[in-house]
Structure 1
Amino acid sequence: MSIQAAYNNWSTTYDADENLTRDLDQIVTRETLMDLRCKSVVEIGCGTGKNTLLLSQIALEVYAIDFSAQMIEKAKEKVRSANVVFVTEDITKQWTYHNESADLVTCNLVLEHIEDLSLIFSEASRVLVKGGYFFICELHPFRQYQGTKANFKRHEEFIEIPAFVHHLSDFFNTAKKYGFLLEDFQEWWHEQDQNKPPRLVSILFRK
């Protein structure tokens, strides 16, 4: 099953399924970004809108992007803020946003499904104003080394979504290549993750 087809399928139960990674990501994003104030935010991989409402509260306008039309339909049911525009778009192609038009680009639980990080960082750098932030929160590569992938259950079958491993150095080296400076780096555990590798890594870059 393709990545896009998998997320279209998962959209019907994504919010209801037990998912510690999804829940922790929402906590991490709120803790990291809640004190920012932005004119314009581009949210990459908005999914069912789990972080979109927060972004609508810290920004004058939010462009929430996902390549799964079904995920976006679920997001529209939850987030009715007038300052949010939902867009169905493939982020592995050039984004439909003007140069230096955003103060913040966010990318949550998306990059594991992107083979080449270069275009994502290149486009983030292009659309951000100087001094703008690029926030990434992803499944920690230590978990990926153990074989962990995004997955969901459908008709008693577990469906794993295709993923690519990006080492921590991949994030930092690609960021440096496209003119980003490291602002903050954190590793995160869910309260049920005692004596386990970190579940998530969050990185805040500044252009």
Structure 2
Amino acid sequence: MNIEKAYNNWADQYDTNENKTRDLDSKATIQTLNKYDFSKVVELGCGTGKNTTYLLTKAKEVIGLDFSQEMLNKAKGKFVNKRVTFLKADLTREWKINNSYANLITCSLVLEHIKNLDFIFSEASKKLKKNGCFFISELHPFKQYSGSKAQYDTDKGTRELETYVHHISEYLTIAHNNGFKLIELNEWFDEVIENEIPRLISFVFQK
């Protein structure tokens, strides 16, 4: 199924259905970013605004980008805050944001749907101020190696979304090639169980 159409269909139940990946991503985002200061944020793949509420507790301005109009409609319905702007955008094309705008860009559970990471890192570098940070939280490639991918339930059964596997070395190499340095890497587990495969991986890169 087309990714945009899939997320449009998923929008009505995205916030309410059982979703360990979504919930762990929120935890990873808050625990990681609590230690950083940021005033202007670009949120890639903002979806229904699940992380926007937290970002607004620290930032003066948030711009949320997503290609799913239905997801954006859900997000817009949650906020009457003039400090947040939601825009429909294809992240694989030039982002309509001023260069050197943000001191934080976040990207959660998005990159598994994007084949060319180099363009994403290139755009992030342009839109970040000097010393700005790029936070990424994604399904761990170990989970992908074992067959896990984004999916949601419908009355006709489970729908799996098209995904791409990005190895840890790919993130690190492409980040370096676009002028970023790694300042933090964490793996996130559902529970602390010996020999469990981590569900998520997160990075903080600095420009």
Do the structures match in fold with TM over 0.5? yes
Match of 1:110 in 2: 110
Match of 2:165 in 1: 165
Match of 1:80 in 2: 80
Match of 2:142 in 1: 142
Match of 1:176 in 2: 176
> What displacement does 1:58 show?
1.2
8 Å CA contact retained: 1:36, 1:58: no
8 Å CA contact retained: 1:193, 1:199: no
With the length of structure 1 as denominator, give the TM-score of the two structures: 0.97
> What displacement does 1:197 show?
0.6
Match of 1:131 in 2: 131
Does 1:37 pair with 2:25? no
Once structures 1 and 2 are overlaid, which stretch shifts more, 76-85 or 48-57? 76-85
Secondary structure of the equivalent of 1:59? coil
Specify every segment of 5 or more residues in structure 1 that has no aligned partner in the other structure, as ranges: none
Cα-to-partner distance string for 1:27-85 (whole Å, 9 max, x where unaligned): 11001112433221000000111100111111110000100010011112223322000
For 1:203 and 1:100, how far apart are their aligned partners in 2? 21
For 2:26 and 2:80, how far apart are their aligned partners in 1? 18
For 1:53 and 1:194, how far apart are their aligned partners in 2? 33
Question: Residues 62 and 193 from structure 1, CA distance in 2 versus in 1: closer, same or farther, beyond 3 angstroms?
Answer: farther
- Letter matched to residue 110 of structure 2: V
> What displacement does 1:133 show?
0.2
The RMSD of aligned alpha carbons is 1.2
Q: How many residues are treated as equivalent by the alignment? A: 207
For 1:6 and 1:59, how far apart are their aligned partners in 2? 30
Secondary structure of the equivalent of 1:12? helix
Identity %: 48
Match of 1:204 in 2: 204
Match of 2:20 in 1: 20
For 2:85 and 2:65, how far apart are their aligned partners in 1? 9
